[in-house]
Amino acid sequence: MNKSIKIKPHHFIDIITSFSADKLLLKPHYYKHEVHSVSKAILENRDLVLQIDLGADNICKPCLHNIEGICDDTLDISNRPKVPSLKREWNLILDKRWCKRLKIEQGDRISVLDFCERLINGSNNLLEIYKENNKENTFQREINLKKGLQNYITSSIVYAEEIEN
């Protein structure tokens, strides 16, 4: 059986979106979450199985803000007054919208490439997903998501790792 990673839909989408960069630097974050290592696993194993998780996923587990499975991080909502100030509430809203659009549910197991295929078919009009966000930023997010998908599918991502000292 292939290795699997528990992941929130928006985490996977953020990772794929980051693949739009001309050169990707994968390095540990000071929050100590695992975006860098999950990104590397996705880059190195196209057969990787993703298990959809709307709670604390593999990225969240070691994070400083993960308190017994609950994220205590907050968001600056000064430019997005309709967004909840608790990151976990905003993330859940986004994840539910993505689940509905991509026809996935908590616990589903799908391959990275299957998730990408669903994104290719479901990445238009991100204003419906991120309706509380700035329109220009959302348009740019859509462009970057599509470029990241293209880069991943064509294996044209250049990345480097920075090891924490």
Residue 99 pLDDT greater than 50, yes or no = yes
**Cα-to-chain-centroid distance, residue 135:** 19
pTM here?
0.93
Structural contact between residues 4 and 109, judged by C-beta atoms closer than 8 angstroms: yes
Q: Do the Cβ atoms of 78 and 17 come closer than 8 Å? A: no
pLDDT digits (tens, 9 = 90+) for 13-33: 999 999 999 888 899 889 889
Tell me the pLDDT tens digit for each residue of 54-84: 999 999 999 999 999 999 999 999 999 999 9
pLDDT of residue 162: 66
Q: Provide the 8-state DSSP code for 128.
A: G
DSSP annotation of 86 reads B
